[in-house]
A and B are shown apart, each in its own frame.
Chain A
Amino acid sequence: MTLFYFFAIIAIVASLLVIAQRNPMYSVLLLIASFGALSGLYILLDAPFVAVTQIIVYAGAIMVLFLFVVMLLNAPHEDTGLDTRVHPMLRPGAMRLGAVLAVGLIAELVWALTSGSGSGSFPSGPVISVATIGRRLFTDYAFPFEVTSVLILVAMVGAVVMARHDGVAGGKR
């Protein structure tokens, strides 16, 4: 249990600090620390494969790309423009919506934490070995798996379209 609280506290504090930072470089690093703590939690749940995959995919691959972009843009400080402390509801446009969403999220979290009747048990035993994970993924969960891959493909195509400026909306370069 001690280890659980150790990792949980690191994960929560690091995640909070991610959004409390002005320097995007530190935000990226704190996010990596948070992923590391999550991976520790997976190990405590007896899921070493998921733990290592978490490190490889999120901390190792995706965050390197984040870091790469932050370094390329070379933005040491975020330009918010609204540095003065204005009440969230008085800010223009989308920011007001953000405040509403934040209130909604807090309400949901409180509801989820208070109404939950302890942790539910998994319907079908622990999935530890790589073979079982693979079999599950391609039989029981084949549809969500394929849908996710299509979703990622869509996101990738979208990124390519937005990055290419020779389209209609972006104007000629």
Chain B
Amino acid sequence: MTPLLIAQIALTLLVFIALLSSAAGMVYFERKVAALLQQRVGPYLVGPQGLLQPVADVIKLMFKEELRPRAADPLLFVLAPIISATAAFAAFAVVPFGAETTLFGLLDTPLRLQVADVNVAILVIFAIASMSVYGIVLAGWSSNSKYSLLGGLRSSAQMISYELSYGMSLASVLLLANSLSLTDIVNGQAGTWFGFIPRWFLFLQPVGFLIYMTAGVAETNRAPFDFPEAEQELVAGYHTEYSSMSFAMFFLAEYVNMVTVSAVATDLFLGGWHGPLLPESLGWIWFLLKVGAILFFYVWMRWTLPRYRYDQLMAFGWKVLLPVSVLNLIVTAAGVLAFGL
């Protein structure tokens, strides 16, 4: 085995563990930020500042009884959370999160900070996002419960509706970058305009960024678009019948999806690992900061905005978001043609 191969395997493991622990970290972060926004203290008993609360949560979940309704479809009921979690982790594989590095001269050939460099990375992310709906839909159907079924139906309708706008916003970015590879897209955002404005696609695609974030929230089923698990109407939506670790897998998938959507947003619109002050080799710190900022925005939004009505969600998706994203794509194409951006 060459050192590069070992480094790549280590990187893959690192990404996996980082995603797992980011989900745990997000639970703590979300509860703390929610507490801040509601002028409470939040978790503080377990460990210093309540930092061990996620560990306590995981232990509690592991020791819960694993229940399965008798009328449930046995195979699909077990398969659904696995599909959800797998899709969530798989999407991150093509996300680059730093410039090439030689690990302080340890390696001869530079290592790319990305699990797999696929030349159609954007489409892979889109494909996996479209597959992740199956986990939720199957969970809803196989539980054989009316709340779960309604949750599953809602989620499939919602994800189909918002996937179109999501894809359109991705397309407008790849028109600017002239490439489907995320590494190329990030490198297309290096440098600054007039010496102080970073060349982020955010400034060329403000509408695209808004569409991406809106559709991203809908794709991850987060508030204010959390209809698949609307507590007041559907008990817990698609995962009503799940308990213990299979419930934890849905939970995990939701947070990992959030991290992935934020990481992709950083790569597409916020210049990825490019930033001032730090050298190129420490660019991943910028990347983490930007992802963290978007995640904070996510949590902030959840505890600020109430859930919409279901018909509002559908009307907004089809009658506002989709026309705006098509218009944005046309304007972008015209701009690229006219100015050769």
Query: Residue A68 contacts which of B127, B157, B180 (CB distance < 8 angstroms)?
Result: B157
Interface size of B by Cβ–Cβ distance < 8 Å? Answer: 26
Q: Which of B117-161 contact A (CB under 8 A)?
A: 118-120, 123-124, 126-127, 130-131, 133-134, 137-138, 140-141, 149, 152-153, 156-157, 159-160
Q: Which of B156-203 contact A (CB under 8 A)?
A: 156-157, 159-160, 163, 180
Interface assignment of B76: CB less than 8 Å from any CB of chain A: yes
Cα distance A60–B91 in the bound complex, in angstroms: 14
* Complex: chain A residue closest to B160, CB-CB: A64
Q: Are B123 and A64 in contact (CB under 8 A)?
A: no
Q: Closest Cβ of chain B: how far from A86's Cβ, in Å?
A: 30
Cα distance A53–B120 in the bound complex, in angstroms: 10
Residues of A within 8 Å of B149, CB to CB, are 71, 74
Q: Are B137 and A67 in contact (CB under 8 A)?
A: yes
Tell me the total A-B contact number using a CB cutoff of 8 A.
65
Q: Which of B297-312 contact A (CB under 8 A)?
A: none
Q: Are A52 and B123 in contact (CB under 8 A)?
A: yes
Interface assignment of A112: CB less than 8 Å from any CB of chain B: no
Residues of B within 8 Å of A4, CB to CB, are none
Cα distance A11–B137 in the bound complex, in angstroms: 23
Cα distance A56–B126 in the bound complex, in angstroms: 7
Q: Which of A28-71 contact B (CB under 8 A)?
A: 29, 32, 48-49, 52-53, 55-56, 59-61, 64-65, 67-68, 71
Q: Are B130 and A68 in contact (CB under 8 A)?
A: no
Query: Residue A71 contacts which of B119, B124, B153 (CB distance < 8 angstroms)?
Result: B153
Query: Residue A55 contacts which of B119, B130, B153 (CB distance < 8 angstroms)?
Result: B130
Q: Are B153 and A56 in contact (CB under 8 A)?
A: no
Q: Are B152 and A60 in contact (CB under 8 A)?
A: no
Cα distance A117–B160 in the bound complex, in angstroms: 44
Per-residue CB contact flags for chain A residues 113-152 toward chain B (1 = under 8 Å, else 0) read: 0000000000000000010000000000000000000000
Residues of A within 8 Å of B120, CB to CB, are 48-49, 52, 130
Q: Are A61 and B160 in contact (CB under 8 A)?
A: yes
Tell me whether chain A's interface is mostly helix, strand or loop, or mixed. Answer: helix
Residues of A within 8 Å of B180, CB to CB, are 49, 130
Q: Are B163 and A61 in contact (CB under 8 A)?
A: yes
Q: Are A64 and B130 in contact (CB under 8 A)?
A: yes
Q: Are B141 and A71 in contact (CB under 8 A)?
A: yes
Q: Are B130 and A56 in contact (CB under 8 A)?
A: yes
Q: Are A64 and B133 in contact (CB under 8 A)?
A: yes
Q: Closest Cβ of chain B: how far from A39's Cβ, in Å?
A: 9
Cα distance A59–B123 in the bound complex, in angstroms: 14
Residues of B within 8 Å of A32, CB to CB, are 134
Q: Closest Cβ of chain A: how far from B191's Cβ, in Å?
A: 25
Q: Are A60 and B127 in contact (CB under 8 A)?
A: yes
Interface assignment of A72: CB less than 8 Å from any CB of chain B: yes
Q: Are B137 and A65 in contact (CB under 8 A)?
A: no
Pick from A49, A59, A60, A67 the residue with the most CB of B within 10 Å.
A60
Q: Are A49 and B152 in contact (CB under 8 A)?
A: no
Cα distance A64–B207 in the bound complex, in angstroms: 28
Pick from B131, B153, B157, B163 the residue with the most CB of A within 10 Å.
B131
Q: Closest Cβ of chain A: how far from B335's Cβ, in Å?
A: 19
* Complex: chain A residue closest to B122, CB-CB: A52
Q: Closest Cβ of chain A: how far from B78's Cβ, in Å?
A: 13
Query: Residue B137 contacts which of A56, A59, A71, A130 (CB distance < 8 angstroms)?
Result: A71
Interface assignment of A25: CB less than 8 Å from any CB of chain B: yes
Q: Are A68 and B131 in contact (CB under 8 A)?
A: no
Residues of B within 8 Å of A67, CB to CB, are 134, 137, 141, 156
* Complex: chain A residue closest to B128, CB-CB: A55
Residues of A within 8 Å of B156, CB to CB, are 64, 67-68, 71
Residues of A within 8 Å of B127, CB to CB, are 52, 55-56, 59-60
Cα distance A24–B160 in the bound complex, in angstroms: 21
* Complex: chain B residue closest to A72, CB-CB: B153
Q: Are A65 and B160 in contact (CB under 8 A)?
A: yes
Q: Which 8 residue pairs spanning A and B have beta carbons closest together?
A: A60-B130, A55-B127, A52-B123, A56-B127, A48-B120, A52-B127, A68-B156, A52-B120
Residues of chain B at the chain A interface (Cβ within 8 Å): 73, 76, 118-120, 123-124, 126-127, 130-131, 133-134, 137-138, 140-141, 149, 152-153, 156-157, 159-160, 163, 180
Q: Can you list 24 residue pairs at the A/B interface with Cβ under 8 Å?
A: A25-B73, A29-B76, A48-B119, A48-B120, A49-B123, A52-B123, A52-B127, A55-B131, A56-B127, A56-B130, A60-B130, A60-B133, A60-B163, A64-B130, A65-B160, A67-B141, A67-B156, A68-B137, A68-B153, A68-B156, A71-B140, A71-B141, A71-B149, A71-B153
Residues of chain A at the chain B interface (Cβ within 8 Å): 25, 29, 32, 48-49, 52-53, 55-56, 59-61, 64-65, 67-68, 71-72, 74, 130
